[in-house]
């Protein structure tokens, strides 16, 4: 599957066959959703699953994603693929880098803790009195 037209052809052929099976109660809608996505090429299937994992967090891991959601994501991804295939390789590589860094997990920066001036006891600090000992404000 290389573009939205091929996705449309696949979906139309799939629905023709599955409509008969569902009407005769040979296949449930849940099974339809699972079989539909499994018919995608492995690279596209993986990208669709990753996208849905992020955007549809309310779907239980054992349940397949609804066919309508799979179609929407596949159309979006295939539109991007068709666009990228018409670009020069250098631009495509740059876009891939940007997309990869956008989804890369970010490292959490340690929180900044400002120094507490009352704990820094020095002769310049008025809290320092050698005769009375160390006094902390």
CA 23-10-34 angle, 5° bins = 60
| Tens digit of each residue's pLDDT (9 = 90 or more) over 62-71 | 888 999 999 9
| Tens digit of each residue's pLDDT (9 = 90 or more) over 6-59 | 889 989 998 888 888 888 888 888 888 888 998 888 888 999 999 998 888 888
| Tens digit of each residue's pLDDT (9 = 90 or more) over 104-125 | 555 666 665 655 555 555 555 5
Report the alpha-carbon distance of residue 126 to residue 136 in Å, rounded: 10
Domain residue spans of the chain? 4-89
Q: Find the helix packing angle between 29-38 and 42-55, rounded to 10°.
A: 130
Instruction: Please give the model's pTM, rounded to 2 decimal places.
Output: 0.55
């Amino acid at each position: 599957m290389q573009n939205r037209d091929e996705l449309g052809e696949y979906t139309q052929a799939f629905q023709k066959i599955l409509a008969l099976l569902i009407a005769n109660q040979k296949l449930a809608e849940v099974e339809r959703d699972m079989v539909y996505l499994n018919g995608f090429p492995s690279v596209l299937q993986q990208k669709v699953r990753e996208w849905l994992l992020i955007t549809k967090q309310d779907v239980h891991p054992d349940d397949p994603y609804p066919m309508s959601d799979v179609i929407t994501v596949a159309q979006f991804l295939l539109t991007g693929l068709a666009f990228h295939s018409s670009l020069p390789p250098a631009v495509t590589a740059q876009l891939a880098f940007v997309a990869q860094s956008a989804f890369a997990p970010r490292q959490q920066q340690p929180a900044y803790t400002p120094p507490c001036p009352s704990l820094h006891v020095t002769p310049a600090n008025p809290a320092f009195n050698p005769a009375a000992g160390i006094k902390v404000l």
